[in-house]
Amino acid sequence: MKTPNLSVHLNNLSAVRETARRLGFTLSRGHRAGDGSIQQMLEAIAAGEVLVLCHVYDWPEDMRRDAAYLRGLAARIERDDNALAAAETLRGLAAAMEAAADLKSFE
């Protein structure tokens, strides 16, 4: 069975590619090797390997502030409760918020 293609119109293709790259989904061949792979990222989202979260922030500074708070919370959880997976999840969320803040800064 042939896999159907997906066709979309992206207003900010470079931001989507950068998001894919920051998540570790990169092209490995061709002249764009190392660039973000939108296809790999979408496949990971569909497989449940990547969590998509809609945020309600208007300002990148607010995102960075809350990301710093989450990093502190992760350190406290790891130290006090020895909950390593929860701490890593919070650190990942903080990193995603920082990356989103960086992209939002360029809008």
> What's this model's pTM, rounded to 2 decimal places?
0.62
> Among 75, 63, 66, which residue's Cα sits nearest to residue 100?
63
Q: What is the pLDDT of residues 44-100, one digit of tens each?
A: 988 888 877 777 888 989 999 999 999 999 999 988 888 889 999 899 889 888 888
Q: Which residue pairs from 44-53 have beta carbons closer than 8 angstroms and sit at least 24 positions apart in sequence?
A: 50/23, 53/93, 53/96
